[in-house]
Amino acid sequence: MKRKRKMSRAGVTLIEVLLATVILSAGITTLVLAATRALAVARKAKEYETARRLIGQVDLEVPPNFEELEEDVETGDFDDPYRDYSWEREITEMEEEELKMFIVRTAVFWSNKGQEKSEEVVTYIYGPAHPRQTGGP
* Residues sharing a CB contact under 8 Å with residue 109, sequence separation 6 or more, in sequence order: 85, 86, 87, 88, 116, 117, 118
pTM for the model stands at 0.69
Task: Tell which residue, 91, 96, 95, 83, has the closest CA to residue 66.
Answer: 91
> Domain ranges in the chain?
14-134
Which CA distances in Å does 137 have to 17, 83, 98, 131, 134? Answer: 92, 47, 16, 6, 9
Q: What is the pLDDT of residue 7?
A: 59
Which CA distances in Å does 135 have to 3, 31, 41, 130, 131? Answer: 122, 71, 56, 9, 6
pLDDT tens digits for range 41-61? 999 999 999 999 999 999 999
pLDDT tens digits for range 52-99? 999 999 999 988 877 777 888 999 999 999 999 999 999 998 877 677
